[in-house]
Amino acid sequence: MNTTTLPSTQRAGPPCPWRGLPLLRAMYRDYLGFTSGLQRDHGDVVAMRIGPERSLDLFHPDDVRTALVDHADHLVRWERGVSVLSQAFGQGLLVAEGDAWRRQRRMLAPGFQPRRVQGYAALMVDAAREALDGALPPGTRQAVLPMEDLFNALTMDVIMRTLFSSRAPAVARAAAQATQVLSQEALQEMFWPFSLPDWLPLPHKAAKRRALGVLNGLVDGEIAARRALPVEQAPSDDLLAMLLAVRDEDGSALNAAEVHDQCMVMFQAGHETTATALLWWAWLMAGHPEAAARAQQEVDAVLQGRDPAAADAQALPWLGATLKEAMRLYPPVAAIMTRRVRRPFELRGQVVPAGTLLRITPWVIQRDARWFAQPAAFVPERFLGDTSSQPRSAWMPFGVGPRVCIGQHFALLEMTLVAAMLLQRFTLHRVPGEADPVPRMHVTLRPAGVLRLGVGRR
Ligand code: HEM
């Protein structure tokens, strides 16, 4: 397979009558199905025009790298996405651009290096132990559980402990619910050219106002409590301590609004994504008992019944492969790496003009039979050993280029620890007679209904 020389194809695309409005409707109804169809029917580079908007969908990993790595400086995040997300995240790392983004990324990156992140393993393990030990009522050997609730509460607890050194499960649950409301509302708003004002007396606007109130109140309260503590009593090793202590090259600190906004970003970006990844992983493990048994044997052999530590992750290659394969089939951020071209650049010998909207959809790229044989099947083996037949960036759940997920080491460590501890305690089963979950795009990729699994003590 030659992935370095790409033919200079003419860009194709669907007809766009009525200024593309039927396409917009089809996209809104079923974004993933619509986008998969674009590649199937029109190839790797698909041009569309919807209203005044000219867009290109890129489906080849080499083209994705050309855009997001080689020409990262020519791109900014899609303004509509930024304007929707910044209602919750202010000007935090996720939505900032240019010099403001570079400054924040430079300041925060050291706090997310693998070595720093390993320092959070014990907190992650504490949160996982509490959630998993309480998952089944005492004395019960098995039950059918809504898994989303379990993982949402657990990953929110991890963020609360690592961000604020706070342990308040009820608060974590309220915060988890609030982020879900915001995520749902955000996706709806992204399909419209402007947001209706939040004060309108509409039920979903009221829910959004309440959700924002919960999260802002929580973050403000934690920051104020921390600032009020004498230095010697304040935790020095959580993410908030890092945000307050960090200094840029010129000695400047993050200002109060920046600290607040980063906390909001960590809340939303750092909890729902990881919960979603664990949710789909659990569903896949429940449906593939041999893969799950192999992971269980590996975990038992390495841990011998003790809690995992950060250093154990390397000794659990099969478990790691099941997690990677789950994020290939169900990438939590399935479709929102949308960028606006600010300065023209060349792609396949043709100029991509300024103003073009680029859309990159991991859901489609990661299910492409050219890079992943039997693309719809759960085959963790493909992540063991030599992966050189896959082009770089064919597996891209954390994104590509300078804006790659800053929390990827944090997330991978958390997922490995939680997955190992879950398998130490439980065996998962699908519930007979329940339909397979249908993935739906919110800001992350969630099942359309409630995903329940049988959870049995070992
Ligand atoms: C399985 C879990 C996760 C997945 C799949 C994921 C995925 C992603 C992706 C795809 C992006 C890039 C989006 C783009 O290019 O437009 C991103 C950015 C980001 N993620 Fe994650 N993420 C995860 C966990 C986390 C965690 C745990 C944190 C923090 C504690 C975090 C914080 C961020 C931030 C701050 C950004 C913005 C980075 C920037 O623009 O410079 N993420 N994430």
pLDDT tens column, 72-112: 999 999 887 787 777 777 788 988 899 999 999 999 999 99
Q: Is 269 in the pocket of ligand 1 (CB under 6 A)?
A: yes
Q: Is 116 in the pocket of ligand 1 (CB under 6 A)?
A: no
pLDDT for the residue 167: 82
Strand segments, DSSP code E, in 59-137 are 75-77
Q: Which residue has the higher pLDDT, 449 or 280?
A: 280
Q: Which residue has the higher pLDDT, 193 or 95?
A: 95
Calculate the average pLDDT of the chain: 88
Strand-pairing partners, residue 447, are: 439
**Residue of 273, 323, 418 with the most ligand 1 atoms within 8 Å of its CB, for mutation:** 273
For 241, half-sphere exposure in the C-beta direction (CA atoms, 13 angstrom radius) is 16
**How far, in Å, CA of 388 to CA of 366, rounded?**
15
Phi, then psi, of 303 in degrees rounded to 5: -95, -20
Q: Count Cβ atoms within 10 A of the Cβ of residue 442 and give its class: 0-12 exposed, 13-18 middle, 19 or more buried.
A: middle
Q: Is 286 in the pocket of ligand 1 (CB under 6 A)?
A: no
Q: Is 321 in the pocket of ligand 1 (CB under 6 A)?
A: no
pLDDT for the residue 1: 37
Q: Which residue has the higher pLDDT, 412 or 23?
A: 412
Q: Which residues contact 244 (CB under 8 A, 6 or more apart)?
A: 226, 253, 254, 259
**Residue range 318-375, pLDDT digits in tens:** 999 999 999 999 999 988 678 999 999 999 999 999 999 999 999 999 999 999 999 9
Phi, then psi, of 353 in degrees rounded to 5: -70, 155
- Average pLDDT value for residue range 306-324: 97
Q: Is 75 in the pocket of ligand 1 (CB under 6 A)?
A: no
**How far, in Å, CA of 364 to CA of 394, rounded?**
10
**How far, in Å, CA of 145 to CA of 151, rounded?**
11
pLDDT for the residue 415: 98
Which helix (H) or strand (E) segment is 446 a member of?
Answer: strand 445-447
Measured in Å, residue 77 CA sits from the centre of ligand 1 at 14
Lowest model confidence (mean pLDDT) among 27-41, 77-91, 226-240: 77-91
What letter does residue 396 receive in the DSSP assignment?
-
Which amino acid type is present at position 362?
A: P
pLDDT above 90 as % of the chain: 64
Measured in Å, residue 91 CA sits from the centre of ligand 1 at 15
User: What are the CB-based long-range contacts (under 8 Å, 24+) for 345-348?
Assistant: 345/66, 345/67, 345/70, 345/71, 345/74, 347/45, 347/58, 347/63, 347/66, 347/67, 348/6, 348/7, 348/8, 348/9, 348/45, 348/63
18-457 folds as: Cytochrome p450 (1.10.630)
**Residue range 128-167, pLDDT digits in tens:** 999 999 999 999 999 999 999 999 999 999 999 999 998 8
**Residue of 280, 404, 405, 412 with the most ligand 1 atoms within 8 Å of its CB, for mutation:** 405
User: What are the CB-based long-range contacts (under 8 Å, 24+) for 51-55?
Assistant: 51/19, 51/20, 51/21, 51/24, 51/193, 53/20, 53/357, 54/353, 54/355, 54/356, 54/357, 55/356, 55/357, 55/358, 55/359
pLDDT for the residue 432: 94
Q: Is the pLDDT of residue 444 over 90?
A: no
- Average pLDDT value for residue range 12-25: 73
- Average pLDDT value for residue range 7-27: 67
**Residue range 253-303, pLDDT digits in tens:** 999 999 999 998 888 788 889 999 999 999 999 999 999 999 999 999 999
Residue 121 CA to its chain's centroid (Å): 20
324, two tokens = 């990677």
Q: What is the largest CA-CA distance in the chain?
A: 66
Q: Which residues contact 366 (CB under 8 A, 6 or more apart)?
A: 328, 329, 331, 372, 375, 394, 395, 396, 397
- Average pLDDT value for residue range 432-445: 88
Q: Is the pLDDT of residue 192 over 70?
A: no
The pairing of beta strand 445-447 with beta strand 439-441: antiparallel
| pTM tops 0.95, yes or no | no
pLDDT for the residue 363: 96
Strand segments, DSSP code E, in 242-375 are 339-341, 345-347, 350-352, 357-360
**How far, in Å, CA of 68 to CA of 56, rounded?**
13
pLDDT for the residue 390: 81
Q: Is the pLDDT of residue 4 over 50?
A: no
The pairing of beta strand 53-58 with beta strand 357-360: parallel
Neighbours of 365 (CB within 10 A): 26
